[in-house]
Structure 1
Amino acid sequence: MKIIEVKDYMEMSQKAAEYIIEKVCNQPNIKLGMATGGTPVGMYKKLVEDHQKNGTSYKKVMTFNLDEYIGLNGDNKNSYRYYMNENLFNHIDIDKKRNTFIPRGDIKDYNEECLRYEDLIDKHGGVDVQILGIGNNGHIGFNEPGTSFQSVTHVVNLASSTIQANARFFERMEEVPTQAITMGISTIMRSKEILLLVSGESKNQALHSLLNGEITESFPASILKNHPCVTIIADKAAIAGLKIHI
């Protein structure tokens, strides 16, 4: 693992954007694995700014999102399709219809959708760079503690801690989805590179467990220690006081 320590969230976002921009410039047809939530918003903003200022092109880039809530269609403002459109896709020159892929959360057969999405990733040769955040309980994507390291794209019941963390994005607690479709841990681990973004004091313990704890399914992110190419960008608040033994 390569660890890049930065001052704060803004610098983390800038460094992450620079990392992705360099990859896109060197490999115009790169396949990116996209994450949602609060952590990558700043990075997406910087990507948009760069595109508008410097003209970095995403016409040949293909994206695969980690997950989507069950029960939400792409027009719902809390869906991850809506999130990606609003934060990135609508503001760059990517082909949204042909080259951006997100699990569908509004269909009847979710197990069939999981198989379709996993096959779609495989059909296109897998993800080149997967962007990740880390949950306080160590989840990556929506792979909660106890998820098998061998898991592929699947339906998950969200942990209560994850539901609580997601509640800030919804007007009422009753609206927060309790299930999602997510790439599995083995799907994530097949990515050629992984970029993990960690920001804030609230993620300090999770980063400590990742870097210094054992590899265990009770802390899903721990499997990243077995990946050959992981870059972590963490701000001072997230990394404060950590003794790193990897």
Structure 2
Amino acid sequence: MSKFQRMRDLMELKKFDSQDELVEQIVKIVSDIISKKPDAVLCFACGETPRPVMDKLFEVRKNGEIDFSRVRLLGLDEWIGVGRGTVGSCSQMLYDDFFSPMKFRTDQINIFDGLSKNLDVDIKNINQIVEELGIDFVLLGIGMNGHIGLNEPGFNPDEKAHVVELSDMTKKVMAKYFDQEINLQQGITLGFSQLLSAQKIILMATGERKAKIVKEIVNSEPNNSLPASMFKQSEHESFFFIDEAAGAKL
């Protein structure tokens, strides 16, 4: 049984008794969106937090419950200097965890290339896609410093896709993704204005290690020092899904 609570401003907090229950609810939401709009534009963060959702969506596809053949996929972010061939890159995780198992075609996928020689063109292309098609759904994890995508504390909330300097916290945490030592200083990410424009937004936090930052987000006023808090100003449907462990300090 989930517990529902309206956070200050516009983001709704939903606390679930288990991660499995949380994942089931997200999958239901995604399925409903695609049923109503088969060519929906979906944006998924990569990494450990959203992986169970991707696994469950694969089960849904395998069982033939939802037709994913017309959806469009947007990448959220990428480290500059690595690509799909590097274990730990965002593109590698998205392909291995989601795109390949789901058998998405290349024409359905629009992600950043961290090895691009012309990032300005990549940024322009992604911005054009978002401007023309919009974003119907975005699933986001939360960094230990509250960053969203690679929108770090102190970010400009009006920006579109852009290159960012990685914070010390992010550089420390990102090391767990790679099977080799890699010195990365920059990333590329969708901008906050684009994420806020999504028709439905879900922030997802699971596990005890996220309990501290979850408490900070819930108790803070919207401010760009804590990027995740800015979703309290969203004009669209915005939810903060947490499990029992992530909500332990509330």
- Mark yes or no: TM-score above 0.5: yes
Q: Which has the higher helix share?
A: 1
- Per the alignment, residue 137 of structure 2 pairs with 129
Matches of 2:28 and 2:143, distance apart in 1: 24
The TM-score normalised by the length of structure 2 is: 0.90
Does residue 226 of structure 1 match 2:233? yes
**3-state SS, counterpart of residue 59 of structure 1:** coil
- Which amino acid counterpart does residue 34 of structure 1 have in structure 2? F
Give the conservation status (yes or no) of the 8 Å contact 2:88–2:179. Answer: no
**1:80 counterpart (90, 102, 124):** 90
Q: 1:176 to 1:202 in 2, by over 3 A?
A: farther
Matches of 2:53 and 2:183, distance apart in 1: 25
Give the conservation status (yes or no) of the 8 Å contact 1:157–1:180. Answer: yes
Gaps of 5+ in 2: 1-10
Does residue 141 of structure 1 match 2:149? yes
Give the conservation status (yes or no) of the 8 Å contact 1:58–1:93. Answer: no
Does residue 155 of structure 1 match 2:163? yes
Does residue 92 of structure 1 match 2:102? yes
Deviation at 1:145, TM superposition (A): 0.4
Count, aligned residues = 239
Matches of 2:120 and 2:175, distance apart in 1: 26
Matches of 1:94 and 1:66, distance apart in 2: 17
Does residue 210 of structure 1 match 2:217? yes
Matches of 1:156 and 1:107, distance apart in 2: 15
**3-state SS, counterpart of residue 70 of structure 2:** coil
Instruction: Report sequence identity in percent.
Output: 28
The TM-score normalised by the length of structure 1 is: 0.91
Give the conservation status (yes or no) of the 8 Å contact 1:60–1:94. Answer: no
Q: CA RMSD in A?
A: 1.6
Structure 1 segments of 4+ aligned residues over 4 angstroms from their partners: none
Matches of 1:20 and 1:239, distance apart in 2: 23
Deviation at 1:74, TM superposition (A): 2.3
1:81-120 superposed matches below 5 A: 81-95=91-105, 97-120=106-129
Give the conservation status (yes or no) of the 8 Å contact 1:111–1:155. Answer: no
